[in-house]
Structure 1
Amino acid sequence: MNLPMRNRILLAASVLLASLPLAGAELVEKIVARVNDRLITNSEFEARFAVFISSPQAGNNPLEAKRKLLSELIDEKLLEERAKELSVAATDEEVETAVERVKRQYNLATDAEFDNALKSSNLTREDLKRQMKNTITLQKVIGRDINSKLDLSDDTLRLEYERRKDQLYKTPDQAQVAEIVIRFDANDPAARARAASRIEEARAKITAGAAFADVAKQYSEGNARERGGALGTVSKGELVTALDAAVFSDPPAEYPPAVLLSSSIHLFHVTDRKSAGYRPFAEVKDDLRARIGDDLYDKHYGEYIQKLRREAFIKIYEPALAAAKEEKKAS
């Protein structure tokens, strides 16, 4: 926003005075940054940094972490000012509900347990309520100015589905598969011959009308023996190449030829073949809405914050932190 010349002069004077020693007194609080008429004090910054530095987003460089945090605090001050403009605030009921949610999240059954947990974090219940009130208020601002403008209609989702389905929702060829496995010593030709003979014996019983599952329980040496050889749904490319080629043969075969590997021989029963395709829109709509919502939110939030910054007066008084970009509207 454009500050009247009188305000800019007063602001410059206050900064100058803050840098001078006061006769007979000490400066009570150091100012890290100013966002319009709101101040980020050193005590506020250091208290937040003590928590922020242990978060994943802080990274390994303490100075860069301080710059990141300062940027976040500047954004918060801008949102607080926007909340005031909109007359938006969290209600006492919303704050109490949020506090109760925290208690449940950490399994704190009694008020005493809750207060002790807060104390271990150097917080009081009133501290937490103030934090919750501020967080909920800022969420309301974002909800009004950003979330309400996100287009997540079915028409938008369908367009995004067509655009992203190859990347997100493509499904390979699949089939329901059961197997009979006979194992043998790879260095024993006679054992290999006996295994092949047993597989043919099993196949003959199936051809004569025996249920594949019953024959598998009798003959198979695989892990799925007790399940009648059932492997469940198998996707193309999931098995080793030779087995995959048998299961997904072209043309499809319910009982493809037995497959001989180096130390085992496999007989398959293949049912319910499904060609490669895509998960249907109705099945993935909620997942797609969440993905698009996140993408759109990030885009709109970034644009929104940059607009607030362009319209604001932002001054950083710590030279080492000044890389946290200062922006002010041209006067």
Structure 2
Amino acid sequence: MPRLPKIFCILGLLAALAAPAGAAELVDRVVAVVNGKLITLFDVNTKVVDVVQRTQGVALKPGDPRVDELRRQMLDSMITEMLIEDEAARMKINVSETEIDTQIDELKKKNSLSQQQLVAELAKEGLTLKQFRQRMRDDSMRKRLLGFMVHRKVLVTEDEIRDYYEKNRGNLPTAKSLLGPKVTGTIGFIMVPSKKQADELRAKINSGGMSFADAAKKFSIGPGRDQGGDLGDVQAKDLAAPLRDALKAAPAGQVSEPVMLDGKAVLLMQRSDKAAPAQPAPAPVAAAPAGGSYEGAREQIQELLYKQKFDKIFQEYIENLRSKAVIEVKL
């Protein structure tokens, strides 16, 4: 019984996303054909619902122009996933449950975590154990595909590690996330119960009486509270139109006018001390100690640079798969 409200919520949002196309289109309309396999509008909308539920700062309503854009982005991702699955099947590549179990056991041992502690750490990252297992499986599949099909080693040299260390000495990671390097967002987000409280907080932050991060941790009831209001990789274009407009109107480093969202007041800030990274960059979990040693940071810098190179090569590989595939998009 406790799961019923969630199911009703999903069905309701799916219906809203489908409007005004009609109930038949919700189930029956084919929006893409990939090498003869179908993707329906229902498949896409289900994925969109999941994203919206996990990103509370995004508000979608029938007629919102962002719905179509989010659908297109999700469809593109689903096409990529289907191509990867097809290629893995062709190459007879498989990642078994036993292999995932072994990887998780190694992860727990490396980080001195019990099963309960692992689940708790994943919850902080916004993931369930099931979602984490799927992420590990997807990552393993990509690495195996790259190993089979791309005869180029992803190599990170000592000079590259040293160069990164010298250029980012004051902004080095000091603790690892179970999910690897994070992307620190450029948008600050605070949600409070009333406009009056929002006005008071805005005045206090803009006058220097309190930092945005401290205010978020102390008062916010919205997403990113424990991260000081950091929305992670959510960008301005991902926000509902009223939030996007308020953020645009506020000078960088200053808090926006309050925006009412679902009966709550929201404050936003575009951080002036960070630019959106072209490649994923690490967010320090804690301030790096002055004069932190190269040896202490070397392993994480190597992992970060490896991931950046791997992602670039893999994207080139996916683009090559797309060029050979028969893809028809009808969305």
Task: Give me the TM-score of the superposition, normalised by structure 1.
Answer: 0.40
Task: Give me the TM-score of the superposition, normalised by structure 2.
Answer: 0.40
Larger radius of gyration: 1
Higher fraction of strand: 1
